[in-house]
Structure 1
Amino acid sequence: MAVKEPDPDGAAQASSEQGAGQLAGQFMGFGALLRRWRKTAGVTQALAAKSLGMGVRTYRKIERGATPPRFTQSQCDSLAALFALDRDERHALLLYNVGTSLTTSSAEGRPELRRALRLLIDQQMPSPTYLCDRYWNIISFNTAMAEWWPWVMEPGANLIRWALTDPEARAQYHDWHQHAAAYVKMLKFAEATNENDAELRQLIDDVKKNPDVRHIWETENELGETRDGHVFRMNVPALGWETVEVVSHVVYPASMPDCRFVVITWVEDDRADDEHDALGGARNAWAETSAAERVQAVPARDRTSEGRADAARQRHAHSLTARLILDTAEEAAALAGEDGIPLPVLSRLIGPDSRLTLSPSNHSVIWAIEEAPGEWAVTEVDASAVIARMPQAALISEARDEVKLLTRWALPAAPDAAIEHIQQLLPQLQQRILLLREVWRDLYEQDNLLPYV
């Protein structure tokens, strides 16, 4: 039986519309979904067709279940605006037609989602964990992350800028050039999928000002989406520059699909050596092979929990408290206790939205940063972590007294124990100074520079 279509303005239906002759597309599939969205919005077929840039007859066929040409991204955006679709509906529209998900964060304007992610981040202790946006700007992190890498607490902290342009990163990554190449691959992947993104272009231009990074950019032709599953070595200042082997795990939260949730797992294994990592794969395999090849290279084998438990115990010794979110910087400073000592000069050196307060009783520093208006993220870190993060501060005359305070409270509390520790450190530091001077002299003589003084 022939079915009579409703007119564009939603006039009388065909008498058989409720009968068995109605097309299946009006009950199920994308056509039915499209029709329901349109009718809920009170929009005519003619107006819907116009927003898509097609004829009314073609649009009617789509609603009846005919297989349509896939809508483009711009057509989806136009239709979503016309029908006032919510986020889940827009997601479904895009997945059906474009085959991709939304690129904007659903956590915007929804603080409960951010709080939930903060809870998840804190629960990853003692593994360093952070959340960054699509441009690798640090959004949130846990105490372990702040302890290992204090730079995340600074205003405007950005993983890519730190890894590619900060001298600190070169000192911490083993084989920095391999890591730099991995990050360049990620930038190239982002550029290939978001070529007209102004913020991404600015980030790329900024890091390419570094000659080494520019050379890698010009010679590296591969793309890489993430560092998920990479096993690598780093020297961590908070652990006395001890070399640790870690694995990077990257996931995308459903509530913030444009962001990366990254957990850094410390792995230990007596079988790790220069040729094999702690998971049994080839050392730095991620720098040479594709992700699929890396998976095949790692043998399936049983692992005892002894190494992981020992690593967890060591990490726990370097973790203090979970991060807090407070309303004001004054509330954050009060956490240092009655003997708390403000560090205004060091706070200014970190950035305008930072507040550092020394807690002598805990030998720690309350590091607060305003992540959003009225939201101060607070992390308690060891005093030595601040010194390691700001080595040049001791050269600034107005900061000297504050650095001296931090140096004192990075030592044992008891004066005799502190003196003993200093006596142990001084010979080591003096020897390091002598070695640096020798290297300095060798470099001068090698390059025929000015005479060494």
Structure 2
Amino acid sequence: MAAAVPVTSDTDASKARRLGELREFLMSRRARVSPAEAGLPDGGARRRTPGLRREEVAVLAGVGASWYQWLEQGRDISVSPQVLDSVARVLKLSGAERRHLYVLAGLNPPRPEVARDDQEMCEGLHRLIDTWMPQPAHIMDAYWNCVMYNDAAASVLGMRSETSENCLLTFFTDPIYRTRAKSWQRNAPQVVAMYRAACSEHPDDDGFAAVIAEAKAMSPEFVELWERRDILPGGQVAKEIEHPVVGTLFLESTQLKVPARPDLTIALHTPMPDAEVDTAGKLAWLATPEGRRGSIYPVAG
């Protein structure tokens, strides 16, 4: 079996701890899978220990019994991602457990996956951004398509259902946002570099290619910035917004990730301190009935 490149070079002590944890982890996962769950007849025989036997895991995973015994004993042997995936399948590991198995075996873990039980988190995330009021907040998928946004994002940033659903395209093409964003020229290189970093994690994804192609067709400014090939991790962006009702707002946008939903990014905006501009007070007023009436029609300028 071909050896994979290890995550880091272990010291003897850290390797012993890692392999010891690997042994305990595999034993605990094997004990929770019954023969019936694995598709094996139990034969009616009473087992001394719960779960599958080592030999049964080896057969179902298509590996040698001795090799799997060495793996579970925490011996320092070569492993491959393909074999670990077979073991993970037999032991019915979740996505997080599969990544944990890779790390314990000394391999780079696979990309996080969304577990079936975590696919219904959107209601909770909607409550999160609604609770963020009166500050703007929105949630994007991996391609920066807007999944949801709160009322403050609509009134301050001009987010609305009739615009492009993609935040990158909106940044470059929406006239309302372009008019309000006084820091647009300063923010644009950072935004493009952050999007290139997101693309770099999925080099063969047609979804990113489609967004980039559309952005190039719609914006010469994007083309110029994209050709710079700058890369920045998703983080914080300082924005100056000129709102048509309350005037200047200084905001800091922060991208956050939820480990259980690696396909989503939460963008939270917080007021930045300024001696002359009370951004927090203005946001609070915009969320009042009077403020909502004053900004009900999003107009450019």
> TM-score by structure 2 length?
0.73
Q: Counterpart in 1 of 2:249?
A: 244
Q: Deviations over 1:161-195 (max 9, x none)?
A: 11133333332333534322212212221222110
Q: Counterpart in 2 of 1:386?
A: 297
RMSD of aligned Cα (Å): 3.3
Q: Counterpart in 2 of 1:29?
A: 21
Within the alignment, does 1:207 sit opposite 2:215 as a pair?
yes
- Residue type at the aligned position of 1:59: Y
Q: How far apart in 2 are the matches of 1:101 and 1:233?
A: 39
Q: How far apart in 2 are the matches of 1:101 and 1:46?
A: 22
1:136–1:159 contact (8 Å) kept in structure 2: yes
Counterpart selection for 1:151 from 151, 154, 159: 159
Q: How far apart in 2 are the matches of 1:122 and 1:179?
A: 26
80 and 383 in structure 1: CA distance in 2 versus 1, 3 angstrom threshold: farther
Q: Deviations over 1:431-453 (max 9, x none)?
A: xxxxxxxxxxxxxxxxxxxxxxx
Q: Deviations over 1:353-375 (max 9, x none)?
A: xxxxxxxxx789xxxxxxxxxxx
28 and 116 in structure 1: CA distance in 2 versus 1, 3 angstrom threshold: same
Q: How far apart in 2 are the matches of 1:33 and 1:316?
A: 50
- Residue type at the aligned position of 1:317: W
Counterpart selection for 2:280 from 302, 312, 322: 312
Within the alignment, does 1:234 sit opposite 2:241 as a pair?
yes
Query: SS of 1:65's equivalent?
Result: coil
382 and 30 in structure 1: CA distance in 2 versus 1, 3 angstrom threshold: farther
Q: Counterpart in 2 of 1:61?
A: 70
When structure 1 is superposed on structure 2, of 56-65 and 129-138 the one drifting more is: 56-65
Counterpart selection for 2:269 from 264, 289, 293: 264
Q: How far apart in 2 are the matches of 1:244 and 1:388?
A: 17
Q: How far apart in 2 are the matches of 1:232 and 1:68?
A: 52
2:251–2:272 contact (8 Å) kept in structure 1: yes
246 and 195 in structure 1: CA distance in 2 versus 1, 3 angstrom threshold: same
Query: SS of 1:230's equivalent?
Result: strand
Q: Deviations over 1:309-355 (max 9, x none)?
A: x43332111115xxxxxxxxxxxxxxxxxxxxxxxxxxxxxxxxxxx
Give unpaired runs (5+ residues) of structure 1: 1-23, 272-306, 321-361, 365-380, 392-453
63 and 133 in structure 1: CA distance in 2 versus 1, 3 angstrom threshold: same
Deviation at 1:156, TM superposition (A): 5.8
Counterpart selection for 2:146 from 118, 121, 138: 138
Q: Counterpart in 2 of 1:86?
A: 94
2:146–2:165 contact (8 Å) kept in structure 1: yes
Deviation at 1:247, TM superposition (A): 0.9
> TM-score by structure 1 length?
0.51
Counterpart selection for 2:230 from 191, 197, 222: 222
Q: Deviations over 1:277-306 (max 9, x none)?
A: xxxxxxxxxxxxxxxxxxxxxxxxxxxxxx
